C-alpha cells in the first residue's frame, strides 16, 4: 500500500492514503454538504471501524466546515444527543450541557448527550487530517506543527503539499521544518543527485525520522557516493546522539539524586545534627504529600497555583507533627539514639494507619499543574521533563535555604551549639529544649516539603514513606552524618552512579551495586564522604 521505498513512520500510511484520496477527490467531486451531514451521523455509530471511515471521509471533504468538525472531534467536544439521534457539539458549563449544531454553530439549547469516544486509530487519523489542512494555516505555529507532523511521510502527495508550501513560506522555522521533511522525502528520489543533496541537507539532524530514512541508504544505495555520504552522515548523527544520550543520563542521574537529596535532607538534620534515628521520617514526607493532596482538594480550580501554596502548608503540617513528636516522645530519649529508632518506628506505624483510617487506604490523586507537565525539548533527541527539572532546582533551593538557616541565623547558631555541646550551650543561656523542638520541627518540615515534590513524581499513599526511609539513611550515612554538603554530594553521587549503571546492569542490579558500593565505601571511610572532624567526633 505504501509505495515508498523506505520505511515509514507509524501513522504515515494512513496519512498517505488520506492525501492520496484527497488528490483523487479534488480531481473528481468533493463531498457535498448533505453527504457531510450523513457522514457526521456515522460518528454516532458504535463500531470504531465505521467511525474511522467517517473521519477519513470528513478529512477528504472539500467543505470548509470539515476542519472545525475534525477539531471538535479531536478535542472531545462531539456528542450524540440522547433521544435525538444526532451528532452535536457539547459544551459543559457546570452541570448543564449546551448543545450546538456542528455544521452551523447554531445553539440547540440544553440536553443530555453522550460523548463520542475515539480510539487511537481515529486519533491518529484526525491528527494527520488536521495537520494536512493546517499546513497552509495562517498561524505559523500551526504550520510548524503540521510540518513536524508530516516528517517522514514520503508519499508524493505529501511531498507536493510540502513543496508548494515551501515556495510561499516566510517563517524561517517553518521553512526549516519543511525543508527537513522534504529532504527526508527526497531521500527516496530516483536521481542520485537529488538523494545526495537530501543526504547533505540532513547533516546533523537529530530527528529519528531522518536517521531511519538514512539507514537504508547507508546500507544499500546503488550510488556509491550517496552511500558514502549517507554512511558518514549517519556516523555523525550517531555520535551526536551518543553525546545527547550522555547528557540525558546525567540529567536522569541528577534528577534521581535530587529526589534522594530531598528525601534525605530533613533526615540530615534530625539524624545528622540531633542524632535522632528518625524512622518516622518517611511518614513525615508522606504527610507533606497528603497535605498537597488536601490543598489541591480544597482549591479544585487552582491546580496551577495550589502546588506553590502546598509548600508552606506541608512545611507547617509536617513541622508541627515533628514538634509534637519531639515534645511527647523524643525529648525523653536524648543520648539514647538507638531507642529513638524504636519509638519512632512505632510512630511511623501509627502515622501510616492514621492516614489509612482517616483518609483512605488507597492512593490518592495529586495532580500535576500544567507547568509541571511535559518536557523542555532542547533538541529532537534531548528533552528534559519539566517536573524533574523543577524538582532538581527545588532541591537545590531547599538545600541552599537550609544552609542559610544553619549558617546565618540565630537559630542555626543555637542548633550547632546544642548539637556540639549540650551542657555548654545551656550554660551559655541557650534554651536547649526550644532549640531541640525547633530543630526537629525544621527537619520534619523539610521532610514535608520533600513530600510535596515527591507527590509530583510518584504515588501518594500510606506506604510512600517506607519507600524512601532506607534510601534516605543510606544517603546521609554515605555523605557523612552531620554534614549537609555530604548529603548533597552523597545523594547526587548515588543518583548518577545508579543511572550510569542502569542501562547495562538493569534497574535492580544497578541498585544492588550501589548498595554494595556503599558498604565497601564505608569500610574505606568509616565516617562517610565528609566526616565530622575534631576530637568530639571520635569515641
Partner 1 sequence: MRISSLIRQVVLGSGLALSLGITVPGHAADDTIKVGVLHSLSGTMAISETTLKDTVLMLVEEQNKKGGLLGKELEAVVVDPASNWPLFAEKARELLEKDKVAAVFGCWTSVSRKSVLPVFEELNGLLFYPVQYEGEESSKNVFYTGAAPNQQAIPAVDYLMDQGVERWVLAGTDYVYPRTTNKILEAYLKQKGVADEDILINYTPFGHSDWQSIVSDIKKFGSAGKKTAVVSTINGDANVPFYKELGNQGISAENIPVVAFSVGEEELSGIDTKPLVGHLAAWNYFMSVDTPENATFIEAWHAFTKDSKRVTNDPMEAHLIGFNLWAKAVEKAGTTDTDAVEQAIIGLETPNLTGGMAKMLPNHHITKPVLIGEIQEDGQFAVVWETEETVPGDAWSDYLPGSKDLKADWTAPIKCGNYNTKTETCLGSEGM
Partner 2 sequence: MIIRAMKDDTGGQILLAVLLAAVLLVPILSLAVPDSSPLHLSTYTVTLLGKYLCYALLAVAVDLVWGYLGILSLGHGAFFALGGYAMGMYLMRQIGDRGVYGDPVLPDFMVFLDWKELPWFWQGFDMFWFAALMALLAPGVLAYLFGYLAFRSRVTGVYLSIITQALTYALMLAFFRNEMGFGGNNGLTDFKDLLGFDLQSDATRAGLFVASALALGLGYLACRIIVTSRLGRVTVAIRDAESRTRFIGYRVEQIKAAIFTFSAMLAGLAGALYVPQVGIINPSEFSPINSIEIVIWVAVGGRATLYGAAVGALMVNYGKSLFTAVFPDAWLFALGGLFVLVTLLLPRGLTGLLRQRSAG
Task: Return the half-sphere exposure (C-beta side, CA atoms, 13 A cut-off) of residue 502.
Answer: 15
Closest CA to 444 of 321, 300, 291: 321
Minimal distance, residue 121 CB to partner 1, in Å? 6
Q: Which of 75, 350, 393, 428 binds partner 2 (CB under 8 A)?
A: 350
Give residues 233-292 in contact with partner 2 (rule: CB under 8 A).
Answer: 271, 277, 279
- Which of the listed partners (partner 1, partner 2, none) does 339 bind, with a CB threshold of 5 to 8 Å by partner kind? partner 2
206 in Cβ contact with 237 (< 8 Å)? yes
Helices (H), 386-431: 386-408, 410-420, 422-427
- Strand 375-379 to 86-93 pairing: unpaired
Q: Is 329 in the site for partner 2 (CB under 8 A)?
A: yes
388 in Cβ contact with 257 (< 8 Å)? no
- Strand 107-110 to 375-379 pairing: unpaired
Helix (H) or strand (E) holding 382: strand 382-385
Q: Is 536 in the site for partner 2 (CB under 8 A)?
A: no
x-marked contacts with partner 1 along 403-442 as a string, rule CB under 8 A: ----------------------------------------
**β-sheet bridge partners, residue 96:** 93
Minimal distance, residue 526 CB to partner 2, in Å? 4
Minimal distance, residue 356 CB to partner 2, in Å? 8
CA distance 509 to 514: 8
CA distance 392 to 496: 13
CA distance 386 to 383: 9
Give residues 148-167 in contact with partner 1 (rule: CB under 8 A).
Answer: 152
CA distance 109 to 84: 13
CA 15 distance to own-chain centroid: 29
Q: Is 463 in the site for partner 1 (CB under 8 A)?
A: yes
Eight-class DSSP state of 80: E
Closer of 10 and 85 to partner 1 (Cβ): 10
- Which of the listed partners (partner 2, partner 1, none) does 343 bind, with a CB threshold of 5 to 8 Å by partner kind? partner 2
Q: Is 516 in the site for partner 2 (CB under 8 A)?
A: yes
Per CB under 8 A, residues contacting partner 1 are: 7-11, 13, 48, 76, 117-121, 123-124, 127, 152, 208-209, 212, 248-249, 252, 255-256, 259, 352-353, 356-358, 361-365, 367-368, 373-375, 383, 385-388, 456-463, 466-467, 498-499, 502-503, 506-508, 511
Per CB under 8 A, residues contacting partner 2 are: 271, 277, 279, 329, 332-333, 336-339, 341-343, 345-350, 352-354, 356-357, 466, 470, 473-474, 477, 481, 508-509, 511-512, 515-516, 518-519, 522-524, 526-528, 539
Amino acid at each position: 500500500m505504501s509505495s515508498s521505498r523506505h520505511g515509514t513512520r507509524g501513522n504515515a500510511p494512513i496519512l498517505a492514503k488520506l492525501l492520496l484520496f484527497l488528490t483523487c477527490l479534488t480531481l473528481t467531486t468533493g463531498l457535498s454538504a448533505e453527504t457531510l451531514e450523513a457522514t457526521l451521523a456515522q460518528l454516532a455509530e458504535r463500531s470504531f471501524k465505521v467511525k474511522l471511515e467517517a473521519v477519513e471521509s470528513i478529512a477528504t471533504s472539500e467543505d470548509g466546515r470539515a476542519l472545525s468538525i475534525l477539531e471538535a472531534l479531536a478535542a472531545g467536544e462531539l456528542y450524540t444527543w440522547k433521544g435525538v439521534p444526532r451528532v452535536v457539539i457539547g459544551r459543559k458549563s457546570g452541570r448543564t450541557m449546551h448543545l450546538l449544531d456542528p455544521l452551523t454553530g447554531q445553539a440547540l439549547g440544553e440536553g443530555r448527550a453522550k460523548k463520542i469516544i475515539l480510539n487511537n486509530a481515529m486519533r491518529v487519523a484526525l491528527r494527520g487530517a488536521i495537520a494536512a489542512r493546517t499546513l497552509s494555516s495562517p498561524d505559523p505555529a500551526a504550520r510548524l506543527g503540521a510540518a513536524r507532523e508530516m516528517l517522514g511521510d514520503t508519499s508524493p502527495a505529501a511531498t507536493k503539499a510540502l513543496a508548494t508550501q515551501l515556495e510561499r513560506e516566510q517563517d524561517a522555522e517553518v521553512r526549516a521544518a519543511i525543508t527537513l521533511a522534504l529532504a527526508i522525502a527526497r531521500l527516496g528520489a530516483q536521481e542520485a543527485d537529488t538523494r545526495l543533496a537530501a543526504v547533505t541537507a540532513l547533516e546533523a539532524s537529530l530527528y529519528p525520522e531522518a536517521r531511519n530514512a538514512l539507514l537504508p541508504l547507508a546500507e544499500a544505495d546503488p550510488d556509491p557516493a550517496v552511500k558514502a555520504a549517507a554512511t558518514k552522515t549517519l556516523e555523525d548523527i550517531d555520535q551526536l546522539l551518543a553525546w545527547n544520550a550522555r547528557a540525558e543520563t546525567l540529567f536522569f542521574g541528577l534528577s534521581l539524586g535530587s529526589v534522594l537529596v530531598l528525601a534525605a535532607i530533613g533526615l540530615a538534620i534530625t539524624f545528622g545534627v540531633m542524632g535522632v534515628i528518625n524512622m518516622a521520617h518517611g511518614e513525615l514526607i508522606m504527610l507533606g504529600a497528603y497535605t498537597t493532596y488536601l490543598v489541591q482538594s480544597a482549591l479544585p480550580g487552582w491546580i496551577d497555583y495550589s502546588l506553590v501554596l502546598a509548600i508552606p502548608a506541608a512545611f507547617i503540617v509536617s513541622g508541627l507533627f515533628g514538634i509534637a513528636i519531639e515534645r511527647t516522645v523524643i525529648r525523653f530519649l536524648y543520648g539514647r539514639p538507638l531507642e529513638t529508632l524504636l519509638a519512632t518506628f512505632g510512630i511511623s506505624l501509627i502515622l501510616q494507619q492514621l492516614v489509612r483510617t482517616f483518609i483512605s487506604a488507597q492512593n490518592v490523586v495529586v495532580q500535576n499543574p500544567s507547568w509541571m507537565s511535559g518536557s523542555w525539548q532542547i533538541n529532537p533527541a534531548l528533552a528534559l521533563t519539566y517536573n524533574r527539572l523543577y524538582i532538581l532546582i527545588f532541591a537545590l533551593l531547599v538545600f541552599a535555604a537550609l544552609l542559610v538557616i544553619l549558617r546565618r541565623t540565630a537559630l542555626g547558631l543555637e542548633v550547632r551549639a546544642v548539637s556540639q555541646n549540650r551542657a555548654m550551650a545551656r550554660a551559655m543561656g541557650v534554651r536547649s529544649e526550644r532549640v531541640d523542638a525547633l530543630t526537629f520541627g525544621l527537619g520534619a518540615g523539610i521532610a514535608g516539603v520533600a513530600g510535596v515534590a515527591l507527590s509530583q513524581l510518584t504515588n501518594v499513599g500510606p506506604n510512600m514513606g517506607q519507600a524512601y526511609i532506607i534510601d534516605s539513611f543510606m544517603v546521609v550515612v554515605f555523605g557523612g552524618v552531620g554534614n549537609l554538603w555530604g548529603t548533597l554530594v552523597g545523594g547526587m553521587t548515588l543518583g548518577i552512579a545508579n543511572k550510569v549503571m542502569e542501562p547495562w546492569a538493569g534497574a535492580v542490579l544497578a541498585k544492588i551495586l550501589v548498595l554494595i558500593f556503599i558498604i565497601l565505601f564505608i569500610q574505606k571511610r568509616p565516617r562517610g564522604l565528609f566526616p565530622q572532624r575534631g576530637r568530639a567526633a571520635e569515641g
